[in-house]
């Protein structure tokens, strides 16, 4: 198999795993975390970047799978620069994203 094929299959698997992780997060968080971990392991092994929306679902600090409204909190910043604050409920790490529009 060539590299392109491997990347394509890996990306598909990652998408399926993240989808399952999102479906399970409320009912079975442990299972959800293991799907998400598997997805990031695949990405690392194949050395591809996860899709943008997928990367948002991992805490920058503890690397756990965090979903807004479930185990992370998203707040709009009140400063003049528009930003959102994401709090990971796992490790309490807060990180900021600046919204440019």
Q: Show the site string, 13-32: x = touches Zn ion by CB under 5 A, - = not.
A: --------------------
For residue 56, the minimal CB distance to Zn ion (Å) is: 13
Structure tokens at 83: 């930003």
Query: Binders of Zn ion among 60-99, rule CB under 5 A?
Result: 61-62, 88, 90-91, 93
| CB 46, CB 59: distance < 8 Å | no
Q: In terms of Cα–Cα distance, which of 53, 15, 56, 61 is closest to 35?
A: 15
Structure tokens at 2: 């060539």
Q: In terms of Cα–Cα distance, which of 84, 62, 80 is closest to 71?
A: 62
The torsion angles phi and psi of 90, rounded to 5 degrees, stand at: -85, -50
Size of the site for Zn ion (CB under 5 A): 7
* Between 62 and 74, CB nearer to Zn ion: 62
Question: Given candidates 40, 59, 72, 87, which one binds Zn ion under the rule CB under 5 A?
Answer: 59
Query: Which segment (12-20, 35-43, 54-62, 69-77) binds Zn ion by CB under 5 A?
Result: 54-62
Question: What residue ranges bind Zn ion (CB under 5 A)?
Answer: 59, 61-62, 88, 90-91, 93
């Amino acid at each position: 198999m060539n590299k392109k094929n491997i990347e394509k299959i890996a990306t598909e698997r990652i998408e399926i795993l993240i989808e399952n992780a999102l479906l399970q997060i409320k009912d079975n968080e442990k299972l959800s975390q293991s799907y998400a971990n598997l997805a990031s392991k695949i990405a690392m092994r194949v050395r591809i970047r996860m899709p943008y929306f997928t990367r948002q679902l991992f805490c920058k600090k503890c690397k756990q799978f965090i979903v807004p409204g479930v185990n992370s909190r998203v707040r709009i910043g009140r400063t003049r620069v528009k930003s959102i604050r994401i709090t990971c409920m796992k490790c309490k790490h807060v990180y900021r994203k600046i919204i440019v529009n």
